[in-house]
Structure 1
Amino acid sequence: MKTIQEVVESTIRKTPFIEEALNEKLINVSSLARVILPEVSATLKKDVKVGAVMMAINRLSPASELRIRRNIKKLALDLGDVIVRSDLCDFTFKNTLLY
């Protein structure tokens, strides 16, 4: 049987933007709890209180910040060469012989 903590953690891990905003203390925990409450209740198939979801959010480990940064660094290293150019035009001419 899953716990509220596990369901809240997996729900938040689905959206890395919310996870990052939580680490930066940009999201109101109470509002986030009310938003994810229906999903948590549906997953657990029982009635869950907002306070329980808030406590689960507050208990999330700060180690997730390191995981986010490691994933971003890995993505940047796997990209390879990136060339950015602007104000370019592409012209194509038919190859013909003039006599």
Structure 2
Amino acid sequence: AAAVEGRIVQIATQGGAVASADFSKMMAKRLTHTGSMLRPRSVEFKAAIAAALEAQVWPLLGTRKVAPVMDMIFPLKEAWRAHERMEDGDHIGKIVLDVG
């Protein structure tokens, strides 16, 4: 989900490098899609990203101006269901285990 003229930033993948997308929906919203991998980057580069996140993104999360997309929340005792959900690959957003 993205706003009109929004940006989708993809850092790595879990399901491999091949995916399908409906580009007509992306074009209709005039979206920008950018991808990257952090693994080959230097420790210094990763530290700079962490500092920028702390300064620019965490405050937005704290004020709820932006929020992560949650797919489903499972109680810890149902972790097996969370794993099944992830393995199915049909989720969009985070699969969360509630340990409370």
TM-score normalized by the length of structure 2 = 0.23
The higher-RCO structure (CA 8 Å, 6+ apart) is: 1
Larger Rg: 1
Report which of the two has the higher share of strand: 2
Report which of the two has the higher share of helix: 1
